[in-house]
Structure 1
Amino acid sequence: MRAWAVIETGKPLQQVDWPTPEPVGKQVLLEVTHAGVCHSDLHIWEGEYDLGSRGKMKLVDRGVVLPLAMGHEIVGKVVKWGPEAKGLTVGDHMIVFPWVGCGVCAVCLAEEDNMCLKPRSLGVYQNGGYATHVLAPEPRHLVPVGSLDPALAATYACSGVTVFSAINKVLPMPPEEPIALVGAGGLGLNALAVLKALGHKRIVMVDVSEAKLAAARDAGATETVLAGGEDTTARIVEAAGGQLGAVIDLVNGTQTARFAFDALRKGGKLVMVGLFGGELAIPLPLMPIRALTIQGSYVGNPKELRALVAIAETGALPGIPITAMPFPEANTALNRLRDGSVVGRIVLTAA
């Protein structure tokens, strides 16, 4: 198999040839057709997360081993499988759920793999979709593409299921009550699409890029706010017609967390999704006085991915802008994502 791998953190990916893995047990080997390029890939590529005053969290200290083929938004075609795998046909076009765990603990058996204490996520702790082939641990981690555009379907494995899980942490809410989404990139546009598919009417989108806000307006955002400056919170509150009951921060940096927190009404909830990094200093008395909630949301589980794909199959879930690029241009894709010029999602393709 061929892969585009991180050999050294911060250095360009290198094209390498590795032995094609042979599936055993319940494992399934797929030929990769599409792989989304996610902001998490930038952190893996750079080898660290920013913890603010606590310094950097080195991913090598968290079990990430190089060389590594990144890529966790994967669609591929079934090639072969181990003797314990059932219900598959060669050529089945599948979305690969990447957030796999040990497979034997209570949370994995409950299909909450993303909460496993021994994660084995594809593209993070084992080779992922920036390659011609990928090995899925078992058939339950595969969801048929069906009638969906496979490039868009690939984004559901991370961007889609991540925002679906985060949204489920704030709903139900009255459809006319505004929800703010911070970040109008791939995550934000997918969150906007999911909220609209679930019948929510008022969605305030916040970003530093006017081009991304224009894409959000085209996709149905009812209000948009160009972030920047000390008055960002005030402008969000003005756009929403008051402080908010729910803000989902898809960036989750020091500045975004600050204005997102400050925009909450009494009883409001801030759901933190992004991994940009930094820290948030909170006046502690405000938490009980205003009965506020801050909750982290880490990707999603296989049940949520299947539910999301089922919604998409009905035609109720609008697409997001997709830029297709061939796998050999993976470095270009990562650099475009890093400089903030991507509207929607870049998806690497085999063709």
Structure 2
Amino acid sequence: MRAVEFSPDKGFQVVDVALGSLAADEVRLQVEACGVCGSDRQVVQGESVPPGTSFPLVMGHEIAGTVTEVGEQVKQWQVGDEVIVHPFISCGTCAPCQHNQPNLCVRQTCIGYQQAGGFAEMVTVPASQLVRRPKGCDAAAAALLVDAFATPYHAMRLADVAPGSTVLVIGTGGLGLAALRLAGAFAVGRLGAVTRRDAGLDSVAAHGAEMVVSMQDEPRNVARQMRRWSGAGGIDVVIDTVANKETVKFALDVVRPGGAVTLIGMSEDDAVLPIAKSVRRGVRLLTSYGSELEDVRALSDWVAAGRLDPSVLLAGTLALEEVEQAFSPVRASGRWVITPRTL
């Protein structure tokens, strides 16, 4: 099969790769689409490489495909099934796994880093990671459910986002835009966004935010503006997809007493928490990492029911030979998706 390998010294190369053997509990998929995540960009730029990753590497963890072969122990899936793949594989035995928190597994591996991913014509994955693709949903759109949408969905579920609530999303990259779309599916009452890029103001409004402000403005003035806009002296739930010291401070300034601030972003910053003020206001400060298989199943159900349209996050599709374009310094609005069979 053809695949795209990446290594820091050689960059991206389209290569021929032999198909490996299929374990009894695995399935082989023809990859129809694979999203390009911000984590992939960090690997390419040398900013952050997941432990256990070795090069050359076939990246790609947002996979949609069709089952072409099943292991002898696999009974639930058959050749021809259209699926999406939850990429985070938990061990099932560590303390977080035993406490029903598999997304926090201390021995977690990820398809596309510790094992070959979806920037290829075929991929082999554990059958336990599969979720049935929503009927009528294009593969390129469906691929984005497993991480681009699942990560903010998990965070919003932890924060108890409820119909009618006021939600503010900080950051307008792929996760931020997905969070805005999810907020609409949660039927929130008021939805705002904070962007660090003035160029993104118009596109953010197109994703459902009725109030959009720039972090380029003076933070205290922006915070006062957001509190007034909320109509309740502050925001019910703030989803911070950036999570650096400036955005965390801002989030704590705009959240209402008793509200929640949920951090998704993973900057290397140290943030200062005003302890007494936060305690008096009863603010819930949460952190959320990744997602669970059940999150992907729930999102698939939302799509099937017409509650969510993941295609709105698509920046475009690229062939394997064009994968480098997805890592251009010029950021697209939304997510690029690789379609390996497109020439």
TM-score (norm 1): 0.87
> Which residue pairs with 2:166 in the alignment?
178
- Return the offset for 1:300: 0.9
- Return the offset for 1:12: 2.5
- Letter matched to residue 208 of structure 1: R
> Which residue pairs with 1:134 in the alignment?
123
Name the SS of the counterpart of 1:333 in structure 2: helix
Contact 1:97 1:143 in 2 (8 A): no
Q: 1:32 to 1:106 in 2, by over 3 A?
A: farther
Cα distance in 1 between the residues matched to 2:63 and 2:195: 27
Cα distance in 1 between the residues matched to 2:204 and 2:179: 10
Cα distance in 2 between the residues matched to 1:335 and 1:13: 13
| C-alpha distance after superposition, 1:293-347 (max 9, x if no partner) | 22111121111110111011111113424111112221110124xx4x3112111
- Letter matched to residue 174 of structure 2: G
Q: 1:107 to 1:135 in 2, by over 3 A?
A: farther
> Which residue pairs with 1:3 in the alignment?
3
- Letter matched to residue 25 of structure 2: K
- Letter matched to residue 221 of structure 1: A
- Return the offset for 1:193: 1.8
- 1:6-21 equivalent positions in 2, closer than 5 A: 6-8=6-8, 12-21=11-20
TM-score (norm 2): 0.89
Contact 2:133 2:142 in 1 (8 A): no
> Which residue pairs with 1:243 in the alignment?
234
Name the SS of the counterpart of 2:337 in structure 1: strand
- Letter matched to residue 333 of structure 2: V
Is 1:90 the counterpart of 2:79 in the alignment? yes
Which of 132, 149, 160 matches 1:160? Answer: 149
Cα distance in 1 between the residues matched to 2:290 and 2:268: 16
> Which residue pairs with 1:36 in the alignment?
35
Cα distance in 2 between the residues matched to 1:147 and 1:42: 30
- 1:52-201 equivalent positions in 2, closer than 5 A: 59=49, 62-103=51-92, 112-173=101-162, 175=164, 177-201=165-189
Q: 1:136 to 1:142 in 2, by over 3 A?
A: farther
> Which residue pairs with 2:243 in the alignment?
252
Q: Percent of aligned pairs with the same residue? A: 30
- Return the offset for 1:41: 1.1
- Letter matched to residue 212 of structure 2: T
- Return the offset for 1:107: 5.5
Which of 239, 251, 263 matches 2:254? Answer: 263
Q: Give the aligned length.
A: 336
Cα distance in 1 between the residues matched to 2:174 and 2:22: 32
Cα distance in 1 between the residues matched to 2:92 and 2:65: 22
| C-alpha distance after superposition, 1:241-272 (max 9, x if no partner) | 43222100112233322322222222222111
Larger CA deviation: 157-166 vs 113-122: 113-122
- Return the offset for 1:111: 7.0
Cα distance in 2 between the residues matched to 1:347 and 1:110: 34
Q: 1:130 to 1:112 in 2, by over 3 A?
A: farther
> Which residue pairs with 1:204 in the alignment?
192
- Return the offset for 1:234: 3.1
Q: 1:33 to 1:43 in 2, by over 3 A?
A: same
Name the SS of the counterpart of 1:75 in structure 2: strand
Cα distance in 2 between the residues matched to 1:311 and 1:301: 16
Cα distance in 2 between the residues matched to 1:250 and 1:165: 13
- Letter matched to residue 179 of structure 1: V
Structure 1 runs of 4+ off > 6 angstroms?
none
TM-align CA RMSD: 2.3
Is 1:222 the counterpart of 2:210 in the alignment? yes
Cα distance in 2 between the residues matched to 1:283 and 1:139: 43
Larger CA deviation: 298-307 vs 277-286: 277-286
Name the SS of the counterpart of 1:128 in structure 2: coil
> Which residue pairs with 1:346 in the alignment?
336
Segments of structure 1 that go 5 or more residues without pairing to the other structure are 50-58
- 1:42-53 equivalent positions in 2, closer than 5 A: 42-49=41-48
Q: 1:160 to 1:255 in 2, by over 3 A?
A: same
Name the SS of the counterpart of 1:305 in structure 2: helix
Is 1:234 the counterpart of 2:224 in the alignment? yes
- Return the offset for 1:152: 1.0
Cα distance in 2 between the residues matched to 1:137 and 1:332: 30
- Return the offset for 1:140: 4.6
Q: 1:173 to 1:73 in 2, by over 3 A?
A: same
